[in-house]
Amino acid sequence: MQLKSTLKRSAQGFILLSALALLSVSLMAFFNPQSVMDLVQVKLTNTSAISSIRGAYGGVGLTLFISLLYLMVRHIAKGLAFLSLLWGCYALSRTITILADGALGAFGQQWLLIESAFCLIALSLLWANQRVMAFS
Question: 29, 61 in Cβ contact below 8 A?
Answer: yes
pLDDT digits (tens, 9 = 90+) for 68-126: 999 999 999 999 999 999 999 999 999 999 999 999 999 999 999 999 999 999 999 99
**Helix, strand, coil shares of the chain as percentages rounded to 5?**
90, 0, 10
pTM across the whole model: 0.94
At 59 the pLDDT is 97
Rg of the chain over Cα atoms, rounded to whole angstroms, equals 17
Q: Cα angle vertex 99, ends 26, 95, to 5°?
A: 35
Looking at the structure of the chain, the number of domains it has is 1
DSSP symbol at 59: I
CA dihedral 23, 29, 31, 37 (to 10 degrees): 130
pLDDT digits (tens, 9 = 90+) for 31-81: 999 999 999 999 999 999 999 999 999 999 999 999 999 999 999 999 999
At 9 the pLDDT is 96
Give the 3-state secondary structure of residue 130. helix
Q: 114: domain range?
A: 2-134
